Amino acid sequence: MMMNKETMKTTCINLLGARGVLPADIAELVFELQKKYVADLTMKTCDDAVDRVLSKREVHYAILTGVELDMLAEKKGLSEPLQSLIESDAPLYGIDEILALSICNVYGSIGLTNFGYVDKIKPGIVGKLDRMGKETAHCHTFLDDIVGAIAAAAASSVAHNNAL
Amino acid sequence: MMMNKETMKTTCINLLGARGVLPADIAELVFELQKKYVADLTMKTCDDAVDRVLSKREVHYAILTGVELDMLAEKKGLSEPLQSLIESDAPLYGIDEILALSICNVYGSIGLTNFGYVDKIKPGIVGKLDRMGKETAHCHTFLDDIVGAIAAAAASSVAHNNAL
Amino acid sequence: MMMNKETMKTTCINLLGARGVLPADIAELVFELQKKYVADLTMKTCDDAVDRVLSKREVHYAILTGVELDMLAEKKGLSEPLQSLIESDAPLYGIDEILALSICNVYGSIGLTNFGYVDKIKPGIVGKLDRMGKETAHCHTFLDDIVGAIAAAAASSVAHNNAL
Amino acid sequence: MMMNKETMKTTCINLLGARGVLPADIAELVFELQKKYVADLTMKTCDDAVDRVLSKREVHYAILTGVELDMLAEKKGLSEPLQSLIESDAPLYGIDEILALSICNVYGSIGLTNFGYVDKIKPGIVGKLDRMGKETAHCHTFLDDIVGAIAAAAASSVAHNNAL
């Protein structure tokens, strides 16, 4: 079942929605990250930047792969020791950060800093996903990093568009 | 089920073996990659370098994650469109290269060149895995890249040890 | 002296030209890399892909930085031990590959494989730069990797455009 | 002038010292980053981790290259537009983050998060370097990222050693 890029985008947005993440939640992170650098930043600008990131093929593949691993872990569908590593969000696992890095680099290396900051501070939707992952049966090992990375890439895109 | 590093290493070597890859197969790639740079290169040196790479935690996690995705694809155990992307080794998918990159960088960026070369030329075990993936019901979308990356990292390790 | 993106692009193309590299030389590499995957590939398609890569800000910065270091090494303008490392194209130095990686990832991780292949095989202009770097007073430690990376990224762009 | 690895390490530590950064300053960052994860963390553990990072060849090359570019920018020794980009620490430049990334990955991808956090919050020596870079004739475009990356990599090393 091969999909064209537009159908793939819709599939990914629906998948994020089913996991509790709306594009508007990510746009709020972008606003927080960029408001001190862009004088007259609007939510529309942030929404558009998130939409641009969500249109990129490499972002689709990272979302599909990471969220699948989270869902398989919730269903105890992975082999050991991978099941335990992902289910427990083991701090040294690192494959979640590697997938996220492939997203946050789509608008150049400046996405990196914002990603690390969001991952550490866990504002807005990222904090909510992190708490749900820790306190409920949900597994968000990949999802919180993916969301942080989309926000970081979108913030880079805003910064690039705002430059000369 | 958390494992210590030594048990994890054994688990990964066994998993590679179950998928048809022995450390000695990878050491042969390393020999081919390095023989023209190191005058008196021995197979022992290559075996040891592969063993060092297979001792690294970030390598364990990439092996466990990539091989799991290959095996799930063989069992039709993934959601669409991810199932089709991995099963068909879709050329733009790229998450296999991203995982592999995390392996081939464990001894610095010079692993990159060897990885790209192996991935394109497909010598020895990498070619065998690639053909099996294409002609049989096996899925080696991640495995061939992982094996190439372990060889590339081990070749870097040989080069580093051979320097001043 | 801040430049807008269009002026920056012209500056980078002129700088590559002054170092002996024309966009058409890079397009030839792209043609070689992609001809077996794209049935009716034309040079126009390859020229356009190189032009797209040369329009990207992160590519401009990598070109400006890498070529500057090459030129400073030619003039013995760097401190030791950096001068010797760059002048001799020391095999473990690796910062040239790191800069190149930032270019070859602008159209996703599939650029990686092509970059490694070009770096090893050294076809066309890359081989010419490599020989000049070794046999004359020219220093091309960064330039040959940069050119290979631009070709690899442009090949990825062709592959992406040729997909659904 | 080729140096062995031990002499190279001394050269890099002296170079950082000449630019105002002591290993102990970096160890303090490591302590801040890791104290909430490691119950009985000592400064000795942090000092040792910084020393391990400063022993790695890929770290030496990133330090030598980045600090050289900072020093050349201070002396107006770079061509335009690179001189202005580095001198002004242009926010989209990004080559400083790319060099830093090669450092913070030496102990796996978990270094990434700490790097981004340090780069945004600018604690201790990183904040001091940043202010000096902005308020005086010093150029620290590369140095502050390099120092943050060494701290992030050392924090990863502490985390790895503290695991099973």
CB contact under 8 A, D81 and C11: yes
> Rounded mean pLDDT of chain A?
93
pLDDT at D1: 62
Which residues of chain D have a pLDDT value below 50? none
| Residue A55: C-alpha distances to residues A23, A47, C118 (Å) | 12, 12, 30
Residue type, C161: N
pLDDT at C82: 97
Query: Residue B49 in contact with residue B154, Cβ under 8 Å?
Result: yes
Q: E strand or H helix at D8, and its extent?
A: helix D5-18
Query: Residue B50 in contact with residue B159, Cβ under 8 Å?
Result: no
CB contact under 8 A, A94 and D116: no
Interface test with C, best of B109, B118, B146 (most C CBs within 10 A): B109
pLDDT of B89 higher than 90: yes
What's the half-sphere exposure (Cβ side, CA atoms, 13 Å) at C90? 22
Subunit partners of chain D (3 or more CB pairs within 8 A)? A, B, C
Residues A86 and B65: their CA atoms lie apart, in Å, by 10
pLDDT mean over C46-63: 96
Looking at beta carbons, which residues of chain B come within 8 Å of A84? 1-2
Residues D150 and D140: their CA atoms lie apart, in Å, by 15
Residue in the block written with tokens 């650029």: C111
Contacts of residue C17, defined as CB under 8 A and 6 or more positions apart, other chains included, come to none
pLDDT at A108: 80
pLDDT at D113: 85
pLDDT tens over chain A, length 164 residues: 678 889 999 999 999 999 999 999 999 999 999 998 898 999 999 999 999 999 999 999 999 999 999 999 999 999 999 999 999 999 889 999 999 988 988 888 778 888 988 988 999 999 999 999 999 999 999 999 999 999 999 999 999 888 75
Q: How far is D61 from chain B (nearest CA, A)?
A: 11
Residue in the block written with tokens 């002609």: B135
pLDDT at A161: 87
Query: pLDDT tens across C119-137, in order?
Result: 889 999 999 999 999 999 9
pLDDT at C163: 78
Which chain A residue lies closest to D162 (C-alpha atoms)? A92
CB contact under 8 A, D120 and A117: yes
Residues C31 and C35: their CA atoms lie apart, in Å, by 6
* DSSP states of C37-75: TSTT--HHHHHHHHHHHTT-HHHHHHHHHHHHHHHHHHT
pLDDT at A132: 94
CB contact under 8 A, D99 and C95: yes
Closest by Cβ to B108, choosing from D4, D58, D108:
D58
Q: ipTM above 0.85?
A: yes
C160 alpha-carbon distance from chain centroid: 19
Q: How far is D125 from chain B (nearest CA, A)?
A: 27
pLDDT at A75: 97
DSSP type of residue D70: H
Chain B residues bordering chain A (beta-carbon distance below 8 Å) = 1-3, 8, 11, 57-58, 61-62, 64-65, 68-69, 71-72, 77-85, 88, 90, 92-95, 98-99, 101-102
Helix (H, G, I), strand (E, B) or coil at B89: coil
Query: pLDDT tens across D79-98, in order?
Result: 999 999 999 999 889 999 99
Q: Tell me how crowded residue B139 is: count the other CB atoms within 10 A of its CB.
A: 22
CB contact under 8 A, B58 and D109: yes
pLDDT at A1: 62
Residue in the block written with tokens 């890099």: D12
Residues D140 and A105: their CA atoms lie apart, in Å, by 23
Chain D residues bordering chain A (beta-carbon distance below 8 Å) = 37, 91-92, 94-95, 97-98, 101, 108-110, 112-121, 159-160, 163
| Residue D42: C-alpha distances to residues A150, D28, D38 (Å) | 36, 10, 9
